[in-house]
Amino acid sequence: MYSRGMSTPERLIESTRELLWERGYVGTSPKAIQQHAGAGQGSMYHHFSGKPDLALAAIRRTALEMRATAEATLAGDGPAYDRVASYLLRERDVLRGCPVGRLTMDPDVIASDELREPVTETLQWLRERLAGIIQEGVDRGEFSASLDTGEIASAIVATVQGGYVLARATGSPEAFEAGVRGLLALLKPRP
């Protein structure tokens, strides 16, 4: 499954990332991680102090990847609406859900300040990044000056995260896509 050149710690982290996304923290046992990574118990505990330590490394990596992916679509100096639309319309595996957002539904992650921290920081970063882009649009006259940029940014994040939930519940990406189309219609600047 993994390349021969991938180190054991890398295989363990990547396996944990995948299993956390599929099963959540509670459903991801050390044995499942070891089997998925093709690593022995000794190897796992040689590199990580236990499941929480390994999960934290995996969650941090997932959070960094989510930020990089979002930034790739949000970067630039084009119109704010176009940048937000690019973020909302980018290709996603909506039926799998958000690998970071799904962790908020895991009681063990939420109960642990350490495991919850990269999740909270990433979602906060995304809201702040979007608020900055909306503010650029306000400053350029693309959007009404009466917009609360923080509220709009929160609505964008909520639409994406809620869209994942709706898509998973219906078994169809159409629910996600409908939410995105609706939000974009509300955000569309008036000529």
Domain boundaries, the chain: 8-187
Instruction: Give the HSE-up count for residue 27: Cα atoms under 13 Å, Cβ half-sphere.
Output: 11
Residue 61 has what pLDDT? 97
Residue reference for tokens 């006259």: 141
DSSP state of 190: P
Residue 42 has what pLDDT? 85
**DSSP helix, strand, coil percent of the chain (3-state; round to 5):** 70, 0, 30
Residue 40 has what pLDDT? 82
Asked if 130 and 105 count as a contact pair (C-beta separation under 8 A), the reply is no
Residue 94 has what pLDDT? 95
Residues of the chain with pLDDT under 50: none
- Model-level pTM? 0.91
Residue 79 has what pLDDT? 96
CATH number for 8-187: choose from 3.20.20.240, 3.40.190.10, 1.10.357.10, 1.20.140.90: 1.10.357.10
Dump strand ranges (E) for the chain: none
Asked if 152 and 87 count as a contact pair (C-beta separation under 8 A), the reply is no
Residue 104 has what pLDDT? 92
